[in-house]
Amino acid sequence: MYSLLDNFIIYLQLQKNASPKTVESYQKDLFDGIDFFSAALNKKDNELLPMDVSHNLMRRYLAQMQQKGLARSTVARRLASWRSFYKYLCREDYLQQNHLAGVATPKGNGKLPLFLETEQLKLLLEAPDSTTSLGQRDAALLEILYAAGLRVSEAVNLDLSALDFDSRMLKAYGKGSKERMIPFGTYAAAALKLYIKDGRHKLSKISQSEQAVFLNNSGTRLSDRGIRKIIDKYIEKTGLKSAISPHTLRHTFATHLLDNGADLRSVQELLGHVRLSTTQIYTHVSVEKLKGVHKKYHPRS
């Protein structure tokens, strides 16, 4: 099983152009399954064969994860990883039959993404001290995460050459290194210009050759973890909900666009979603908001 898994990872990297994080996610999901299947069959993990994993065994694996209290999204993702692996095995003639084809994906739990109301967002965006280099960086970072709906990884990988202030557009590289152009507004432009002219200029003196937009104290590219720590800092400072994460700003971006009349297809393009169904979760957020308004203000709700 392990040698086939290695071949599958190479296929993901070379033919599917999967990002390092996607590859890592597949590996973790598949290794977790191997641990369960080998224990269930009383086999050593390096003796496990693809034909050993039956339809029923996969259902036992899914049930075990649900019993452990794992989120349904995690269970569904692990099943999707194994399905992709077995499709690959069938396509490459390692398997004659896909034993996992009929395994049903667990239904979602209906949990809606967290987003910020306008006043909460304003509080967060105005929290950094723009008289300091790091405060200017943080203000620009928060503004662009909301203005362009960027993923954390996209903000990390954003280079100076990707910004066009004349057209107020930026080039982002999403999952699978897919490129898309995203507009950003005047507030984000002003925050970025101040940061690049002043704060970033001071930070970059340590490392003149660095092309990243967002730098850390050492003058090198800010990391995913660094961005999350920055968000946590301002969540604590403003007293907002502790569950807010960098991705909350992306959720807020999409929700605010739809609430103000944007069409779903346009929001899909801006977010870089492959499937429209992924974007449709935000219409549910808006519907729930309407229900809340109706319940609060209608006399016979």
Task: Indicate which residues carry an active-site annotation.
Answer: 151, 175, 247, 250, 273, 282
Q: What is the dihedral of CA 233, 234, 235, 239, to 10 degrees?
A: 110
The closest of 48, 55, 52, 43 to 83, measured between CA atoms, is: 55
Is the Cβ–Cβ distance between 169 and 183 less than 8 Å?
yes
CA gap 59, 147 in Å, rounded: 42
Would you tell me how many other CB atoms lie within 10 Å of the CB of residue 297?
8
Contacts of residue 174, defined as CB under 8 A and 6 or more positions apart, other chains included, come to 151, 154, 180, 272
- φ, ψ of residue 130 to 5 degrees: the values are -80, 10
Q: How far apart are CA 27 and CA 81, in angstroms?
A: 9
Q: Two tokens at 124?
A: 């967060």
Separation CA 204–CA 129 (nearest Å): 19
> What is d(CA 181, CA 161) in angstroms, rounded to the nearest whole number?
13
3-class secondary structure, 290: helix
Helices (H) and strands (E) in the chain, counts: 14, 3
Residue 185, helix vs strand vs coil: coil
C-alpha–C-alpha distance, residues 166 and 145, integer Å: 19
Q: What angle do CA 246, 118, 255 make, to 5 degrees?
A: 65
